[in-house]
Amino acid sequence: MQERERRQALADFLRWRRTSLSPTAVGLPSRVRRRTPGLRREEVAELANIGTSWYIWLEQARDVHPSADVLESIAGALKLTMNERRHLFLLAGQQLPPHIFSIVEQVSPTLQCMLDDLSPTPAYVMGRRWDYLAWNNAAACVLSLHQLKPPHMYNLIWQLFTNPTTWKCYPNWEQVAQVALSEFRTSCARYPNDAWFEELIEDLNQASPEFCQWWPHHDVSTSQDGHKVIEHQTLGHLEFDHLTLQIPGDPDVRIMIYTPDDSTRTKLEHFLRASGNR
């Protein structure tokens, strides 16, 4: 999108949201007569605690560059949803501040139902801190999620570097671990000075010589999507095509899907049926 088109799209979005919001929805008294529906520009500026002229320039697609703080103020004034807020920041050419997301990550019943329906295809949801948030029975079987190792029991990076059950599954463990680590580094960069990440990294430095050696290299990789080979302690040789999907409205929460080849699917179907988890 060209710069002029981006500014116009931002102006159109702000105007649409302003005119679709009633005064009572933002705590303003309802006036009898309004020439146009929704809020006035002056009212949005007042609610956002920014200059009226500045806000008008945004709706006029002027060449102005609002800061993240100004965008957050506008988002609050216009009662934007999480997805609308993300759209606002993208149109304004700003990165979405990570701290606006909820600290507690939850998976909806609908999403859990979708994971279950994918079985025997292993699938799980991974949070912004690389924690397993939810999974289906096939994923629990393939990834040995019943044998997680404390203290960071549900963290994928912790399990990959410290849990023998996990690392023995991968014939090419070193490659898998380095790719995952480089992606994890990108996630950490979105949350500078986050005490939780700092604690995990310190614990990993103490627990894993490989992590301690590789972490200072600052390698940044692309995607973990692709072909996966797992040597399972019970099922033997398994092969998958790995796909990552993002949760709408929260780009740090992802759905990980392991599509099995025909042989692997047959093994999983038999195992899950025998264990009563199909």
Give the domain CATH number at 196: 3.30.450.180
For residue 220, the model assigns a pLDDT of 58
Rounded to whole angstroms, the Cα distance separating 234 from 112 reads 26
Are residues 51 and 144 located together in one domain of the fold? no
Domain boundary among 81, 100, 119: 100
Rounded to whole angstroms, the Cα distance separating 132 from 148 reads 11
> For the whole model, what pTM was predicted?
0.67
Are residues 66 and 195 located together in one domain of the fold? no
Rounded to whole angstroms, the Cα distance separating 122 from 157 reads 18
Does 32 have pLDDT greater than 70? no
Are residues 160 and 238 located together in one domain of the fold? yes
Q: Which residues on adjacent β-strands are paired with residue 254?
A: 126, 246
For residue 23, the model assigns a pLDDT of 80
Check whether the bond before 120 is cis (ω within 30° of 0).
yes
Does 252 have pLDDT greater than 80? no
Are residues 123 and 198 located together in one domain of the fold? yes
Q: Three-state SS for 228?
A: strand
CA-based R_g, the chain, Å: 24
Domain boundary among 69, 100, 131: 100
Does 63 have pLDDT greater than 60? yes
Domain hosting residue 65, numbered range: 3-100
Structure tokens at 129: 């801190």
Rounded to whole angstroms, the Cα distance separating 3 from 87 reads 16
Other CB atoms within a 10 A radius of the CB of residue 71 amount to 22
Does 230 have pLDDT greater than 80? yes
| pLDDT, the chain, mean | 86
Closest-CA residue to 224 (of 186, 183, 187, 168): 183
Does 59 have pLDDT greater than 80? yes
Are residues 76 and 202 located together in one domain of the fold? no
For residue 90, the model assigns a pLDDT of 83
Are residues 264 and 157 located together in one domain of the fold? yes
Read off the pLDDT band of 104 (50, 70, 90). low
Rounded to whole angstroms, the Cα distance separating 71 from 223 reads 30
Are residues 135 and 246 located together in one domain of the fold? yes
Rounded to whole angstroms, the Cα distance separating 139 from 145 reads 8
Tracing tokens 């912790």 back to the chain, one arrives at 158
